[in-house]
């Protein structure tokens, strides 16, 4: 590890333990330095999203001042989550300002890396979680996790339950930003770049490489996964669904891939019948599919934690829980519904 990368990694660890007041000072000062150097940063990170990273710092600072705790979180859980995503966004901005990048292989626990795009050569953000149990040379599962909208990769991996899932299964988890495109269709190669970077950085079990997605990401997994279907041992869709327009391609390209489909019965953004119809369609097509539904759970990922824990564990260990045959009579959605809630 270079000295600059080591300093950045140590700084991230310290920031995660900082008080709200200290984080606020760091966010404001870093935002000012970032804005001053934004033209230079754009040449490295790409013009289309460079300003987005500045906006993250300002949004994070406002979140620190917001007393409202989202449904499903305790005060301590939300405080840790806010601290984590602020620290990740600060790490991202600091790396871009310094033009020194944390090697993904150096990350243990939660961290932020920048991966060079195979499409245009820009540096693209990837949030990373590496379990404490990971040992170089010992193959570990890999989960590539696609975020919802409006939500950056840092907010997807920030909640403490993501670390708990990764630690319990020994799964290295990476979340690409994907340039903020609505459904990853214009940034799918960024997803594969993130997966390749993880394989280069860590010892990955080739039999356990998974693609997962939440909300918008739960729709995107069907499109993204079908581009290189042989790379995925299984696919998980959380609060998302297969669109009718993609259905025949999935049957043709991913007939041997197990799918894990999750929904809450009170999802107030994505109607629960859409994931149900997805599971039914996949089963009727003769594909391996596991279905999980949690009564009373909403669109917020934390409310789905009991079934997410079970499904994540099932996916890593190859357990299949087929849905009822009656689901096969439901109609697949024609388009992604308008998201009414923040993930």
Q: Which residues pair with residue 237 across a beta bridge? A: 213, 261
Domain range holding 69?
A: 1-102
pTM over 0.95: no
Whether residue 140 contacts residue 171, with contact meaning beta carbons closer than 8 Å, is answered with yes
**145 and 240, same domain (yes or no):** yes
Within this chain, do residues 153 and 244 fall inside the same structural domain, yes or no? yes
Q: Taking 50 as the threshold, does the pLDDT of residue 167 lie above it?
A: yes
Would you say 284 and 328 are in contact if contact means Cβ atoms under 8 Å apart?
yes
- Note whether 181 and 276 are same-domain residues: yes
R_g over Cα of the chain: 19
Is the pLDDT assigned to residue 180 strictly greater than 80? yes
Task: Tell me the pLDDT tens digit for each residue of 291-316.
Answer: 999 999 999 999 999 999 999 999 99
Reported as a single tens digit per residue, the pLDDT across 314-332 is 999 999 998 877 676 678 9
My answer on whether 93 and 118 are in the same domain is no
Q: In terms of C-beta density within 10 A (0-12 exposed, 13-18 middle, 19 or more buried), how is residue 49 classed?
A: buried
pLDDT at 19: 77
CATH number at residue 226: 3.40.50.1820
Do 159 and 24 have their domain in common?
no
Total number of domains constituting the chain: 2
Q: Give the mean pLDDT of 108-124.
A: 98
Mark which of 102, 129, 147 sits at the end of a domain.
102
DSSP state of 226: T
> What are the structure tokens assigned to 48, written together?
């289309």
Claim to verify: residue 130 and residue 67 sit in the same structural domain: no
Q: Supply the pLDDT for residue 322.
A: 84
pLDDT digit string, tens, across residues 209-237 = 999 999 999 999 999 999 999 999 999 99
- The percent of residues above 90 in pLDDT, for the chain, comes to 84
pLDDT at 261 over 60: yes
Identify whether residues 153 and 270 lie together within a single domain.
yes
Give the domain-ending residue among 102, 119, 153. 102
| Per-residue pLDDT, 73 | 95
Q: What is the rounded distance in angstroms from the CA atom of residue 3 to the CA atom of residue 61?
A: 29
Residue 7 has pLDDT above 50, yes or no: no
One domain, residues 193 and 218: yes
């Amino acid at each position: 590890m270079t000295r600059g990368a080591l300093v950045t990694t140590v700084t991230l660890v310290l920031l995660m333990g900082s008080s709200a007041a200290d984080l606020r000072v760091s966010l404001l000062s870093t935002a000012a330095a970032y804005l001053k150097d934004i033209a230079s940063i754009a040449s490295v990170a790409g013009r289309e999203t460079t300003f987005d990273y500045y906006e993250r710092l300002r949004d994070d600072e406002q979140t620190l001042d917001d007393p409202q705790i989202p449904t499903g979180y305790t005060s301590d859980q939300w405080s840790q989550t806010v601290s984590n995503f602020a620290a990740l966004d600060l790490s991202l901005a600091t790396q871009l300002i310094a033009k020194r990048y944390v090697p993904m292989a150096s990350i243990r626990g939660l961290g932020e890396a920048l991966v060079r795009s195979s499409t245009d050569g820009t540096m693209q953000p990837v949030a990373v979680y590496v379990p404490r149990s990971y040992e170089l040379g010992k193959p570990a599962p890999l989960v590539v996790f696609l975020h919802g909208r409006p939500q950056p990769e840092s907010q997807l991996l920030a909640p403490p339950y993501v670390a708990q899932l990764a630690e319990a299964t020994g799964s290295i988890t990476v979340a690409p930003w994907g340039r903020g495109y609505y459904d990853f269709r214009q940034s799918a190669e960024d997803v594969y770049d993130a997966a390749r970077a993880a394989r280069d950085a860590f010892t990955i079990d080739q039999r356990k490489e998974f693609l997962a997605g939440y909300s918008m990401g739960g729709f995107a997994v069907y499109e993204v996964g079908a581009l290189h279907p042989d790379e995925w041992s299984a696919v998980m869709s959380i609060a998302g669904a297969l669109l009718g327009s993609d259905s025949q391609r999935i049957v043709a390209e991913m007939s041997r891939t197990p799918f894990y489909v999750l929904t809450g019965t009170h999802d107030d953004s994505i109607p629960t019948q859409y994931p149900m119809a997805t599971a039914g369609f996949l089963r009727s097509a003769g594909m391996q599919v596991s279905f999980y539904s949690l009564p009373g759970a909403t669109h917020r990922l934390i409310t789905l934690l009991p079934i997410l824990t079970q499904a994540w564990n099932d996916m890593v260990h190859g357990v299949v829980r087929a849905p009822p045959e009656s689901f096969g009579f439901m109609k697949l959605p024609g388009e992604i519904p308008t998201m009414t809630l923040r993930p």
